[in-house]
Structure 1
Amino acid sequence: MTGPQRAAVILLVLGDEHGRQLWKELDDDEIRIVTRAMAELGTVDSDDVEKLMVDFVGSLSAAGAVTGSLDRTISLLEKILPSDQVALLMEEIRGPAGRNMWQKLGNIDAAVLANFLKNEYPQTIAVILSKIRADHAANVLRNLPNELSVEVVGRMLRLESVQKETLDHIENTLRTEFVSTLTQTRRRDPHEMMADIFNGFDRQTELRFLSALDASNAESAERIRALMFTFEDLIQLDPAGLQTLMRQVDKDTLTRALKGASETMRNFFFGAMSQRAAKIMQDDMEGLGPLRLKEVDEAQSRLAQLTKDLAERGEIVLSKGNSEDELVY
């Protein structure tokens, strides 16, 4: 099992009464990762659960008493990570909003963030953009007024170390005036929400609902179709993205997904394999024998969901036929 899957099993066993305090200790991203693993876990045999819990308790018992402190954390990290990475982590932890503040900014749409920042001082914008992911900073700059964006780039080039008091003030301002307000007021597009739900349908159920919508609300049906990310959309992956996906997906899921795929999709995946690997995959597909459509749909849905997860983590880029039309999940 992966780490999130092991954590999901432990939290399920603990239940709400004993696990509540653990849930409170997780940040938003950790909760999202664990809940996704929990939702996709399926049935875990009692023997596996028992072994996992024994291992978990045994690892805690073997460690004895543990005391955490900032100094001890730094000492431990310096033995594992590069010194510059440790310094950056500690700088963020010491801030009032901590690491989560900059993660939250990284999850906010670039156009929305740029619209807020355009009224700030160029120096403030420069500090903020220097603290978020480079790709996200690039998208924010692209959405700022041209003259302002050029000024911000110049400030970033001349940016020196920022005093802790200044950084604290910026973080507090962002948290109180922007992030918290955005969290309270932002309403998700219902078509986007329904597209996510439709992605979880098997093919027959999806067609049934879309056909009904075509008859009653054709405009909404088209918007949902445009927002859905399906197995067939994988053909838009670039070679690097496809290789990343194939390294992450388990062989059985890929075999079942390709078993019911079109010739175009099969050739797309086979083209990313060596001749020998493609031949083995074809033999495995034949060895499966007849599959129910539901099994194929489930495998293809898992592949599409894995792709979206990789895109969320920034490991691949998704687009639908247009290099500038990036899909953000």
Structure 2
Amino acid sequence: MMDFDDFGSAVSTKPLSQAEKAAAVLLAMGKGVAGKLLKYFTQSELQTIIASAQTLREIPPDELLQLVNEFEDLFTEGAGLMDNAKAIESILEEGLTPEEVDGLLGRRTAFQAYETSIWDRLQDADPEFVGKFLQREHPQTIAYILSMLPSSFGAKLLLQMPDSRRADIMNRTVNMKDVSPKAAQIIENRVMELIQMIEAERNSNGSNKVAELMNELEKPQVDTLLSSLETISKESVNKVRPKIFLFEDLLAMPQRSRVMLLNDIAADILTMALRGAPADIKESVLSAISPRQRRMIESDLGATNVAINPREVAIARRAVAQEAIRLANAGQIQLKEAKPEGEKASEAAA
């Protein structure tokens, strides 16, 4: 560490370029003020400033004071500069959108997100689908993947493996040693391929369109159409069915998700949707709303002089179902409770 008396001599030998001066000013003035100034620069100017900031030498206070005098209309008192690259990113984030910052810095934000979220993304998939994919892999690869996954999903995935392979996979997982970065990257690339397959399956335009059409219908009509489709292709039914959500499916929704959904829906829509509904659906809805709102709806439903308009009831039910789909697509709720493994196995056997 240099003495204070020497500060400003050795480090000041190289004059600053105009771009470096601009970078130093932005760094010195703080995020709030600097962020407001960014809109006055062109993209090429910003890129030049960023490049200068990332290689900017340390600026002692006396030299910084000279810069302050040069740019006295642009900033207030500053201080010595450290960690310039991180500071310029922080300033940019104050005044620009994340996409603009990523473009200017050329940083690997997308890849960093991939690195941190790949295992979280995989656990959102159907264990049966993932299990079929992994059965083609070497047991050591499966063991590594299990060691990286959250235990709850890893346990479900292990049950998808053939009985003859489970012991070997568990043994390899227990005795897992450090995996070389190269081997880990190869495995994670395979997992990314799997995630892309899952997302492609989820986003299949054909199945999405059929599900959207069926979501506009009533349950008896949907059941008839699915039965008809199943006579032609059970695989097609399996692609479409998970994307269908009707008002009656509220029964299968986890209670926490049902509470989040129904507390945001107007009482008059819920009242209309519940007219003529079976007792179990009524109770599932009423148990998920506030006691006060429940009393009001029960009072309205108990009125005997109200004529039921089937069209209005259907519209109200579709409104509830569509809001559920919207919240589920946003990742805020779950549409269906996860089934126990034994139940899935029995369904597969059927």
TM-score under structure 1 normalisation? 0.51
Question: Residue 318 of structure 1 corresponds to which residue in structure 2?
Answer: 336
- Distance in 1 between residues matched to 2:339 and 2:202, nearest whole Å: 29
User: Quick one: which of 58, 62, 65 aligns to 2:38?
Assistant: 65
Per-residue CA shift, 1:13-59, capped at 9, x if unaligned? xxxxxxxxxxxxxxxxxxxxxxxxxxxxxxxxxxxxxxxxxxxxxx9
The equivalences for 1:129-144 within 5 A come to 129-132=146-149, 134-144=151-161
Q: CA deviation at 1:104?
A: 5.5
With over 3 angstroms needed to count, the CA separation of the structure-2 counterparts of 1:200 and 1:106, relative to structure 1, is farther
Per-residue CA shift, 1:160-200, capped at 9, x if unaligned? 76554333222234446x55677789996977863442112
User: Quick one: which of 120, 124, 128 aligns to 2:141?
Assistant: 124
Matched residues, percent identical? 21
Q: Which amino acid aligns with 2:314?
A: D
- Distance in 2 between residues matched to 1:255 and 1:221, nearest whole Å: 38
With over 3 angstroms needed to count, the CA separation of the structure-2 counterparts of 1:278 and 1:160, relative to structure 1, is farther
The equivalences for 1:242-257 within 5 A come to 242-247=258-263, 249-257=265-273
Unaligned runs of 5+ in 2: 1-31, 40-45, 55-84, 92-107
The equivalences for 1:1-329 within 5 A come to 63-65=36-38, 71=86, 97-98=114-115, 101-102=118-119, 105-106=122-123, 108-132=125-149, 134-157=151-174, 159=176, 163-175=180-192, 178=194, 194-201=210-217, 203=218, 207=221, 219=231, 227=241, 228-247=244-263, 249-259=265-275, 261-273=277-289, 275-283=291-299, 293-308=310-325, 313=331, 315-316=333-334, 318=336, 324-325=343-344
With over 3 angstroms needed to count, the CA separation of the structure-2 counterparts of 1:71 and 1:231, relative to structure 1, is same
- Distance in 2 between residues matched to 1:96 and 1:276, nearest whole Å: 44
- Distance in 1 between residues matched to 2:143 and 2:155, nearest whole Å: 12
Q: CA deviation at 1:290?
A: 6.2
- Count of residues in Structure 1 that have an aligned counterpart in Structure 2: 249
With over 3 angstroms needed to count, the CA separation of the structure-2 counterparts of 1:117 and 1:305, relative to structure 1, is same
Q: CA deviation at 1:153?
A: 3.8
TM-score under structure 2 normalisation? 0.49
Larger Rg: 2
Q: Which amino acid aligns with 1:172?
A: N
Unaligned runs of 5+ in 1: 1-58, 77-90
SS of residue paired to 2:136: coil
CA RMSD of aligned residues (A): 5.4
